[in-house]
Structure 1
C-alpha cells in the first residue's frame, strides 16, 4: 500500500476532497497542515511543484493542483465512477465545486468592501444556479435518493459535501429548498466517508 501525505494549510479548502476520498477508501494517510509562516519556510525547499498547496506526496512522488490530486486518488481507490461517462460526470462535478471554492477565496481575499459585496452577490447567484442544477441531476439519478453519479458514493458526493461544509457555515438554511441535496449531504455526513471532515 502506498504511503500518502496530504499537505495543506490548517483548513479544509482545496485539500478536503482528497482527504475525504482517502477516508472513504479506508486508506491511512498523513494529514500535514502548515501555518502560513511554516509554509513560507517550507516552500523554499523547492520540493513542491509550482510552489503552492495543496500537494500530495505518494512515496516521494509529489503532485500539485487540488482537483488533479482528488481525481488521481478517486481513480486509485474506485471512487471516480465505473464507466467513462460516469468518470466524466464525476470530473464535471468536481470541477464545478472547485470553481465555487475559488469564488469563496476571491471574496475572502478581496480588500475593497464594495468589491467584496459585488463578488458576494455574484457568488450567491452562482451557488443558487448550481444547486438547482444539482438537485435536478440528483433526481434524474434513481429518483434522487442515492448519489450524484452512479449507484455508489464517488468523488462527486465527497466534493459536494466538502463544498457544503464551507457554504453552510455562513448560510445554515442554504439547502432547505433543495430537499434531495439536503438529504444527500446528511447521508454523506452520517457515513464513514466523512470521518476526516
Structure 2
C-alpha cells in the first residue's frame, strides 16, 4: 500500500475528503503525514482527530525555501512517503522536493486550467462572467498551476448563482474528483513498481 503525504495550508476539506476515501476503502493508501505551513490552520485539528502525524512550520523561520524543503524531505523520508498530494497548499514547490519526488506530486485547482491559475480561481471565473468552470488535477512543476493536466471536470455557472453557491459546488466536485484520480494514480504507481 502506497504511503502519501498531504500538504495543506487551510481548513483541510480536501484533506478530509481523502482521509474519508481511505477510511471507506475507496482509496488504497496510507496517509503517513500532513505537512502544513500555517500553525493556525484548521487542517491540523483534522489531522489530530484522525491520528495522522503532522510537520508544521513557518516559512519565515527559515533563511530560504531550500532550507525548509530539506527539512520537509527528512520528514517524508522518515515516514517512507511514496507520493505527495497538495490540497490547498499555498506555496510553490521548489527544486528540492521536485527533484526528490519527480512525477509523484499532484495538486488540485478549482478552475479549468490553463484558465484562472493562482489564488481565488473561483472568484476569478465568477467575475469574468464565464459560463463554465470546474476543477483540474495536475502534476506539479516549478510554475504556478502549470504542470501537465491529469483530469478535469467541468460544471456550469448558473444564472443568478452567488459566489458562495458556486464555491460550495466546486468544493463538492473537488471532494469527489480528487480521491478518484488519486486511486488511479496510486494503482498505476503500484503497477510500475511491480513491473520494475
TM-score (norm 2): 0.28
Higher relative contact order (CA 8 A, sep 6+): 1
TM-score (norm 1): 0.28
In terms of fraction of residues, the more strand-rich structure is 2
